[in-house]
């Protein structure tokens, strides 16, 4: 079973609208971290936001916020007031702290977001 | 400036010719990792290192080797590259398990 599922392969959004990118995860580890990364067409991976499994409040970083619903195992990224420069691939990732497998980030397959003027 | 530096950025080579992709970080991070990115598959971890002289396999380690002789460097070695190792490779580092990983700019390898 996939550990990270991003159900939206691609999205078109009008500039200035808010965007929600979906991410669900699967883990039995009580301690984990959830991350979102942005990959523009130039290829680099840019860290956006982090949510810890024990964090009581949803994480926010500027125009980015993470809608963390632990019981539903979802960690959706919300981008407010989208801009043309937000067009990119977006990856959700998880790191299990006590997991018995390989340590490191497990990534979803990504959502290709295109912001239209 | 805090950064992870990979070299080379691009490489086209032939099957069987040993190659090394270097990775260096200047943030004194203990944790370093290599990923490969392939279309439709996202990023998958190849190897990781928790500290100097401590390395372990990720999800797709076959055909790769790594070493961690110094804290700042974590080279990826392809002893006998094959076409199925054509991919975009990323090195990453972090200061701890719940800290975000900082990625290098990527190395695009083409094995003919």
What average pLDDT does this structure show over A69-78?
Answer: 96
pLDDT value at residue B14: 95
Contact B45 A105 (CB under 8 A): yes
Q: Which residues pair with B48 in a beta bridge?
A: B33, B56
Q: Please check the confidence at residue B72 and state whether its pLDDT lies above 80.
A: yes
Q: What is the mean pLDDT of residues A98-108?
A: 73
pLDDT, tens only, B74-87: 999 999 999 999 99
CB A88 within 8 A of CB A40: yes
> Nearest Cβ partner of B98 from A33, A47, A93?
A33
What's the CA gap between B77 and B20, in Å, rounded?
4
> What are the pLDDT digits (tens) for B19-60?
999 999 999 999 999 999 998 888 999 999 988 999 999 999
What digits encode the pLDDT tens for the residues B50-71?
889 999 999 999 999 999 999 9
Q: Is the pLDDT of residue A101 over 70?
A: no
State whether A44 and B48 contact (CB < 8 Å).
no
Close Cβ partners of B55 (under 8 Å, ≥ 6 residues apart):
B47, B48, B49, B66, B67, B68
* Contacts B43 to A, Cβ<8 Å: 45, 91, 93, 105, 107
Q: How far is A72 from chain B (nearest CA, A)?
A: 21
Name the one residue in this structure whose structure tokens are 């990504």.
A110
Report the residue of chain B nearest A34, measured CA to CA: B98
Token pair of B2 as six digits: 């805090």
Three-point CA angle B106, B83, B20, nearest 5°: 45
**Band of residue A99 on the pLDDT scale cut at 50, 70, 90:** low
3-state secondary structure A33-98: EEEEEEECCCCCCEEEEEEECCCCCCCEECCEEEEEECCCCEEEEEECCCCHHHCEEEEEEEEECC
* Burial state string for B63-78 with b = 16 or more CB within 10 A and e = fewer than 16: ebebebeebbbbbbeb
**Cβ distance of B48 and A102 shorter than 8 Å:** yes
Which residues of chain B make contact with A93, given a CB cutoff of 8 A? 43
Contact A97, A32 (CB under 8 A): yes
Say what the pLDDT of residue A105 is.
Answer: 85
Widest distance between CA atoms in chain A: 46
pLDDT at residue number A100: 54
B45 contact residues in A (CB cutoff 8 A): 102, 104-106
B39 contact A CB<8A = no
Mean pLDDT for the stretch of residues A84-94: 96
pLDDT tier at A19, thresholds 50, 70, 90: very high
Mean predicted lDDT score pLDDT of chain A? 92
């Amino acid at each position: 079973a996939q550990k990270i599922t991003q159900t939206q392969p691609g999205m078109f959004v009008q500039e200035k609208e808010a965007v929600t990118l979906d991410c669900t995860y699967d883990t039995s580890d009580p301690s984990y971290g959830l991350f979102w990364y942005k990959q523009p067409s130039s290829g680099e991976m840019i860290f956006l936001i982090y949510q810890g499994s024990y964090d009581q409040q949803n994480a926010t970083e500027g125009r980015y916020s993470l809608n963390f619903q632990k019981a539903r195992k979802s960690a959706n990224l919300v981008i407010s007031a989208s801009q043309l420069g937000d067009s990119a691939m977006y990856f959700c990732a998880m790191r299990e702290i006590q997991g018995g497998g390989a340590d490191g980030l497990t990534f979803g397959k990504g959502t290709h977001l295109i912001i239209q003027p | 400036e805090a950064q992870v530096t990979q070299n080379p950025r691009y490489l086209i080579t032939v099957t069987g010719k040993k190659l090394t992709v270097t990775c260096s970080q200047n943030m004194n991070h203990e944790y370093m990792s290599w990923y490969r990115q392939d279309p439709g598959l996202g990023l998958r971890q190849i190897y990781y290192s928790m500290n100097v002289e401590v390395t372990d396999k990720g999800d797709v380690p076959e055909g790769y080797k790594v070493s961690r002789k110094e804290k700042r460097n974590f080279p990826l070695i392809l002893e006998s590259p094959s076409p199925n190792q054509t991919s975009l490779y990323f090195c990453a580092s972090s200061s701890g398990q719940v800290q975000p990983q900082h990625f290098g700019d990527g190395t695009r390898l083409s094995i003919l």
